């Protein structure tokens, strides 16, 4: 009868993950300490270990959650009628999210994934999923003759993901950049890349 309520348990986990997210965003994966996270989540260190086996487990769970959310966003675009408009919209949303307080950890994650096999696996599985989604997307566009049919969908998807990743560095390299114009330019880039060569521009 005195079993743990699994819903409450999950809620607490989420609260901890949220707190961890804020700490990681502020100080990085290595810079944020268990102590910091406990303070942010207002729980004791001993208690935290009831929910997560280790710091790495927290990172992994947080990353997995974040990537899942990203996948969902992508899958919502899939059914969008106009391919390029959907892309442009996504780009702008990406940049908007970037300014939110819950900062972008993508670069930290990717850097860390290069030496942490656990994270590497998570990242690669997520990437495969998104790439498939994106490839499917591209195939649809090609069917509608909105996207150059000569482009290999899988590879194109991979390249586009890289381009999106690269976006994160824009404002690091130049904090004063005009983000709106940057978005427009990127839309141009993607449009020209994907548009069938014979199409009027």
Partner DNA sequence: CATGAATGAGCTTTCATTCAT
Partner DNA sequence: CATGAATGAAAGCTCATTCAT
Residues 12-51, mask of contacts with a copy of itself (x by CB under 8 A): --------------xxx-xx--------------------
Q: Which is nearer to DNA, 33 or 162 (CB)?
A: 33
Cβ closer to DNA: 12 or 73? Answer: 12
CB 41 within 8 A of CB 48: yes
Distance in angstroms (rounded) separating the CA atoms of residues 67 and 123: 8
**Residues in region 172-191 near a copy of itself by CB under 8 A:** 172-175, 177-178, 181-182, 185-186, 188-189
169: partner contacted, choices a copy of itself, DNA, none (Cβ within 5-8 A by kind): a copy of itself
Q: Which tokens in the block code for residue 151?
A: 């482009």
CA distance 168 to 157: 18
Positions that interact with DNA (CB under 7 A): 1, 3-4, 8-9, 12, 32-36, 42-50, 53-56
Residue 148: closest CA among 91, 87, 92, 84: 84
Binding flags for a copy of itself, 75-94, as an x/- string (CB under 8 A): --------------------
DSSP label of 189: H
Q: Toward a copy of itself, which CB reaches closer, 81 or 110?
A: 110
Distance, CA of 109 to CA of 120 (rounded, Å): 9
Tracing tokens 């300014």 back to the chain, one arrives at: 99
In 3D space, the residue among 97, 76, 86 whose CA is nearest the CA of residue 21 turns out to be 97
Contact flag: residue 158 with a copy of itself (CB under 8 A): yes
Distance, in Å, from the CA atom of 62 to the CA atom of 127, rounded to the nearest integer, reads 16
Contact residues for a copy of itself, defined by CB under 8 A? 26-28, 30-31, 103, 107-108, 110-115, 120, 123-124, 127-128, 131, 151-152, 155-156, 158-159, 161-170, 172-175, 177-178, 181-182, 185-186, 188-189, 192-193, 197, 201
């Amino acid at each position: 009868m005195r079993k743990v309520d699994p819903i409450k348990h999950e809620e607490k986990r989420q609260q901890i993950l949220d707190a961890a997210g804020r700490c990681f965003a502020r100080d990085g994966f290595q810079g944020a300490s268990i102590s910091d996270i406990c303070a942010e989540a207002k729980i004791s260190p001993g208690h935290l270990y009831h929910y997560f086996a280790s710091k790495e487990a927290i990172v992994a769970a947080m990353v997995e959650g974040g990537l899942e959310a990203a996948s969902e966003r992508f899958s919502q675009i899939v059914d969008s009628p106009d391919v390029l408009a959907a892309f442009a919209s996504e780009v702008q949303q990406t940049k908007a999210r970037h300014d939110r307080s819950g900062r972008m950890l993508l670069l930290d994650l990717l850097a860390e994934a290069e030496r942490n096999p656990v994270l590497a696996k998570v990242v690669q599985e997520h990437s495969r999923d998104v790439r498939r989604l994106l490839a499917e997307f591209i195939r649809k566009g090609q069917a509608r003759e909105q996207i150059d049919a000569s482009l290999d969908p899988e590879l194109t998807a991979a390249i586009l993901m890289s381009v999106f990743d690269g976006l994160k560095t824009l404002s690091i390299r130049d904090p004063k950049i005009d983000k709106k114009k940057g978005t427009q330019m990127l839309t141009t880039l993607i449009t020209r890349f994907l548009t069938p060569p014979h199409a009027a521009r």
